[in-house]
């Protein structure tokens, strides 16, 4: 469960960083941070789903 929370928190942090980058008009970093945030959140959801099945 520890990995779930770690990835959930970091996913949210990456998405917040994407928002800041968008606000400062740095589109390249905004896209990178958005992709990283989504990947971390998807990974957290996959961990949670696998944990419920066991």
pLDDT at 41 over 60: yes
Question: How does pLDDT run across 18-30, given as a tens digit for each residue?
Answer: 999 999 988 999 9
Number of C-beta neighbours around residue 35 at 10 A: 12
Q: pLDDT value at position 54?
A: 57
Calculate the alpha carbon distances from 39 to 2, 25, 33 in Å: 17, 22, 10
What pTM did the predictor assign? 0.83
- Which parts of 1-54 fold into alpha helices (H)? 2-23, 27-53
């Amino acid at each position: 469960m520890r990995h779930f929370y770690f990835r959930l928190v970091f996913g949210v942090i990456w998405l917040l960083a994407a928002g800041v980058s968008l606000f400062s008009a740095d589109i390249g970093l905004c896209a990178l941070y958005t992709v990283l945030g989504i990947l971390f959140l998807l990974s957290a959801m996959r961990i949670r789903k696998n944990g419920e099945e066991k």
